[in-house]
Structure 1
């Protein structure tokens, strides 16, 4: 066999082995497969033919087949042999996994070998630990496997073993993988340590490594260093630019994010997503929607979750029902994009916040798969629409299906009880959070209960609850109490609540307005003047009320005493006509009370035509 130099000679040797019965022994047949799979004169197809007729191949034969397919530039078949090895429960040795890793590296690129390990991580670690000789590819593959599995701590422990051994030096791919682990953890100190290792081991700064370094600093919130690295990069690609856009957008620095976005020489859909999400998550829905429409006009195809979820959130924030419905029809009904759970949840939230709770409900029942967010979105939608019974019924259905509620679920349930004045139900669910589900109530849940008790006039109980909160009461809690005092005329306690709110947020004009209204209701005119004087002294102006509507896809915003709209004279004339007709129908002369319903400036403007 050692002197065999062709397949013809091998087949003659095989015939002799068959005649003498040696072909049924594992060792001789393993030598035939080794020649076919690994020799320059071999034939991988013939090796497979023999392999398929072996009833119980040993680990050496399995390994030889994997290795042979990689050598024959057919790594996919090598991986197929490995998967069969796993399925059949064959006991591997240290080389099995190494050969499988290299096959995967040839098939998908060595920088992605960690994805292969994810599916076999327990088996992989056992084989990895038993492997007597590990090269940089083996170490990096194991590290990357843990990163891909969202186990950055394990990945970093493997790296520590690697550097402690002192025999293997990390390469570019190793460091990229480790920087991903640091970004996943959000651990800046660890990221800086990895940066030092790059310098220590003199790893070449390729574009991919620079991008990984940039991404790590961005995700760890260190934009100053990220910006310095970006400026020092001799070559940048779309990933480099998008990292900067994403970093500044997530920090709320939208002007800087937009500057980088506008300066990008080339943009892809991920770049657009980063900027759209930045606007949406920072309460700039109109900007998000404008950008999305620009993206669509540019011919880019949205990505299911990354694009549509922030766009639908912007529709929900701005009440842009028309665009939300168009997205639903164009991308989901016409099957341009897969209808995933995240998009379904965003659509439920959008329909509920845009006043179409019926559509939210219909969509919920149509969803092929639902998660906890789906249930929470509809429960909160029902609560916001004052439909407490439907919210509570859905909550019972949710429990019947063994879906465990979370803190957000109970915000919806307690809000529903508050809007409907269901005190007993509210108390029951508030107590059940901890007793039944092991959920410690948070400040938001206490605020809901204070609001519930206050709305029905149980002011004393509401105040007791705020005093007994295990955490410091926040603006929501004191605001709920102040509003309850305004509703039921508790001026002294209301003033106390207002003082607390002013301590927490002295710039919020709403607190002063609520307090002034409370004092006016109780005819405490001197205190009303004091509140107004306090506002003037602090330079605080009442935030004008505003609203906006959408007509044919265009937004129209209106503020109190505002005449900036190009058709404002027509609008005010129509308002005047409606106002006059209403008074004629009621046969009532315009009273001071009617004037108070509009701001004085508006009323004068109406009468001046």
Structure 2
């Protein structure tokens, strides 16, 4: 290493100081030219001519730093503020630094300036100790050291990490008190802070109060709108930015490409792509990754793949963006091939492939990927667990869902966000653990409409209609605005327990009180509700006066009600409608056949079987599954393919014999 050679030369000082100094200058001049400045060194325009300090500018390890510091100490330079600040900056800001070493050095600086204080505050925040950073700020204030704009920006970052909104407002007040609240750097920092704290209105007030704005100001507020789902406002603000002639940068383009990704505005995304090519911004890898992501999410995989293949350098985000594009479009075969080829995988890569399988209802594949991820020692994030829990709910893996709660929430203290809590509620409800779902819901300190929908749907699915209705009334009392999914849940719950008057009232209130137009699924719920209690004429009247066509679920509900209550004529009508919607559904033929058989209409039963044969419709066998020690086992009707089938049937026969002896039938 160059520093080791420098140390050797300095040891020659006693013998030939002039020669050693000359060789030392030549050596470090060459070193500073040949070695790029590392990422910790933000002073890219700083010109350092002193030979020892020039080496400091390219330092990249604590071992090297200690050698340089030893030479600074030996020559007496370490007592001067500038050399000490450079050593401090490396210790506090470098990935290879040491914050404890920085603190020891800081304590020995007799008169630290604002830059040195700022470096310590920034360093503690960067090393995950924002409270210590704030402590330094308070100490700085108590000793009446001068602040600058960067001080407040760093302190706001600490408040952001601590999620302390009141403290951030206090810092805003201090900026006003010190007269620097109108400095552009401070205002940009305040906007960023308010956006991260979810206070978009406060960020907009700061933006509107700015006498002068730069590209960072505009990009920050546009990104704030984008992150909060206000895409129309983001586009409108971007248009204003163009109108006044603000020069765009790569970050602005990345933000707008994200807006295009979320809204599906492919044509707008293409125009941004043209701007990138025109302005020669194609060398920015982050920007090219954003283009790949935009095309992938907009379903234009050919364009995404073209950009991906042209990239000279691909990082993990390049691979993940392309792979996610395939997964989002349902092409899981190409997504998996790309995933397997990735030279490096991070938690986002794993989460994306798991999400692809989960959203395509390939739950077992999603869970297998999750297990592979754990074996690769990659720690999941909240987004990963949300998709894994969704897969658990679909295939009934309650044990795995409980293990996730115990391992990550109870033992590791992972924060239960609203989305993660909702995923647990949904998983528990679908796996039959409705009491655990209810417990999770009632322990939530913050809920959104998805939380309410999940527990209401869960109660309805398990036949607890009264509890679902009670929760719906509580939802309205708390001022939560229901959506169309909420009404699916409450109408379905009313149907399960026969709450006809309540169901009719809620169906009427959808449009009258909440301006929600009923969809086919809502009409299907009402048909099911009326049909279950035998009000078939009312159900038919509702269907006849519908402004839209009833869907397959609605006709199926009407047909089943006719079968149960013996309305052959209306059941025949519903069956014909169903066969017109989906002539390949074997369940329709089975339902109709059972209804005809009940009324001894054997000719009609025979006609249905001939129709099934002519249309090559085969009855889909029933499938049941059971989870044992984390592994799911599936069984078809009369299935003997399982490796333990002989033992299983032997035990079933034994149970059947015992039940027959006692005069009971357990089947």
Tell me the TM-score range normalised by the shorter chain: 0.7 to 0.9
Post-superposition offset of 1:207: 0.9
* Equivalence for 2:418: 341
- Residue 322 of structure 1 is matched in structure 2 by 399
Q: Deviations over 1:502-532 (max 9, x none)?
A: 2222221111111111111121112112111
| Contact 1:223–1:247, Cα closer than 8 Å, also in 2 | yes
**In 1, Cα distance between equivalents of 2:422 and 2:258:** 29
Q: 1:220 to 1:101 in 2, by over 3 A?
A: farther
* Alpha-carbon spacing, 1:149–1:410, altered in 2? closer, same or farther (3 Å): closer
1:525 aligns with 2:602: yes
Is residue 475 of structure 1 aligned with residue 552 of structure 2? yes
User: 1: distance between equivalents of 2:576 and 2:519?
Assistant: 23
Are residue 382 (structure 1) and residue 465 (structure 2) matched?
no
Partner of 2:29 in structure 1?
A: none
Alpha-carbon distance between aligned partners in 2 of 1:368 and 1:77, rounded to the nearest angstrom: 28
What is the CA–CA distance in structure 2 between the aligned matches of 1:587 and 1:309, rounded to whole Å?
Answer: 44
State the match for 1:263 in structure 2.
Answer: 341
1:262-281 alignment to 2 at 5 Å?
A: 262-281=340-359
Contact 1:549 1:556 in 2 (8 A): yes
Matches within 5 A, 1:179-578: 179-304=257-382, 306-578=383-655
Distance 1:389 1:232, change over 3 A: same
- Given the alignment, which residue of 245, 253, 256 partners 1:178? 256
Q: Aligned to 1:437, what secondary structure does the other structure show?
A: coil
CA distance in 2, matches of 1:367, 1:192: 43
1:231, distance to aligned residue in structure 2 (A): 1.9
Distance 1:119 1:434 in 2: 31
Secondary structure of the structure 2 residue equivalent to 1:270: helix
What is the CA–CA distance in structure 1 between the aligned matches of 2:227 and 2:423, rounded to whole Å?
Answer: 27
Task: Return 5+ residue gaps in structure 1 as ranges.
Answer: 1-41, 49-64, 589-593, 598-609
Question: Equivalents in 2 of 1:345, 1:587: separation in Å?
Answer: 42
Give, in angstroms, the shift of residue 214 of structure 1: 0.8
Partner of 2:87: none
Asked if 2 retains the 8 angstrom alpha-carbon contact of 1:97 and 1:127, the reply is no
SS at match of 1:302: coil
Is the contact made by 1:380 and 1:413 (CA closer than 8 Å) also made in structure 2?
yes
Structure 2 length-normalised TM: 0.70
Alpha-carbon distance between aligned partners in 1 of 2:295 and 2:154, rounded to the nearest angstrom = 37
TM superposition shift of 1:279: 1.5
Please give the alpha-carbon distance, in whole angstroms, between the structure 2 residues aligned to 1:420 and 1:361: 19
CA RMSD of aligned residues (A): 3.6
The alpha-carbon distance between structure 1 residues 524 and 97, as it changes in their structure 2 partners (threshold 3 A), is farther
- 2: CA distance between counterparts of 1:368 and 1:303? 21
Q: Which residue of 1 aligns with 2:204?
A: 122
Which 10-residue stretch deviates more, 341-350 or 185-194? Answer: 341-350
How much has 1:327 moved relative to structure 2? 1.1
SS in 2 for 1:337: coil
Residues paired across the two proteins, number: 520
Task: Judge conservation of contact 1:447–1:476 (CA < 8 Å) in 2.
Answer: yes
> Could you say which residue in structure 1 is the equivalent of 2:186?
100
| 2:416 counterpart SS class | coil
**Further displaced range: 243-252 or 284-293:** 243-252
CA contact (8 A) 1:382 1:416 kept: yes
Question: Residues of 2 paired with 1:458 and 1:103: CA distance?
Answer: 64
* 1:386 partner SS: coil
Cα shift at 1:184: 3.1
TM-score (structure 1 length as normaliser): 0.77
Q: Deviations over 1:15-57 (max 9, x none)?
A: xxxxxxxxxxxxxxxxxxxxxxxxxxx9769xx9xxxxxxxxx
> Is this contact kept in 1: 2:297–2:328, CA < 8 A?
no
User: Larger deviation: 431-440 or 501-510?
Assistant: 431-440
- Equivalent residue, structure 1, for 2:65: none
Give the drift of 1:88.
Answer: 6.9
Label 1:182 to 1:371 Cα distance change in 2 as closer, same or farther (>3 A): closer
Could you say if the C-alpha distance between residues 184 and 521 of structure 1 is closer, same or farther in structure 2, counting changes exceeding 3 Å? Answer: same
Tell me by how many angstroms 1:353 deviates. 1.6
- Quickly say closer, same or farther: Cα 1:455–1:210, change in 2 above 3 A: same
SS for the counterpart of 2:634 is: strand
Once the two structures are superposed, what CA deviation does each residue of 1:310-343 show, in whole Å capped at 9, x if it has no partner? Answer: 1111111111111111111111122431122222
Residue by residue over 1:180-229, the C-alpha shift from the partner in whole angstroms, topping out at 9 and shown as x without a partner, is: 23223321111011111122333343211110111111222222211222
1:546, distance to aligned residue in structure 2 (A)? 0.7
Residues 103 and 457 of structure 1, relative CA distance in 2, 3 Å threshold: closer
Query: Residue 78 of structure 1 contacts residue 100 of structure 1 at CA under 8 Å; is this kept in 2?
Result: no
Measure, in 1, the Cα distance between the counterparts of 2:297 and 2:218. 25
How far residue 355 of structure 1 moved from its aligned partner, in angstroms, is 1.5
Contact 2:463 2:493 survives alignment (8 Å): yes
Deviation at 1:265, TM superposition (A): 1.2
Question: Is 1:516–1:531's contact at 8 Å kept on the other side of the alignment?
Answer: yes
Work out whether residues 433 and 439 of structure 1, in 8 Å CA contact, stay in contact via their aligned partners in 2: yes
Question: 2 CA distance for matches of 1:227 and 1:91?
Answer: 54
* Offset, 1:440: 2.8
Structure 1: distance between partners of 2:156 and 2:437: 49
Residue aligned with 2:624, SS:
strand
The residue matched to 1:547 in structure 2 has which SS?
A: strand
Query: Is residue 165 of structure 2 the alignment partner of residue 87 of structure 1?
Result: no
Structure 2: how far apart are the matches of 1:570 and 1:260? Answer: 42
Say whether the 8 Å CA contact 1:546–1:558 is kept in structure 2.
Answer: yes
Relative to structure 1, the CA distance from residue 398 to residue 563 in structure 2 (aligned partners, 3 Å threshold; closer, same or farther) is same
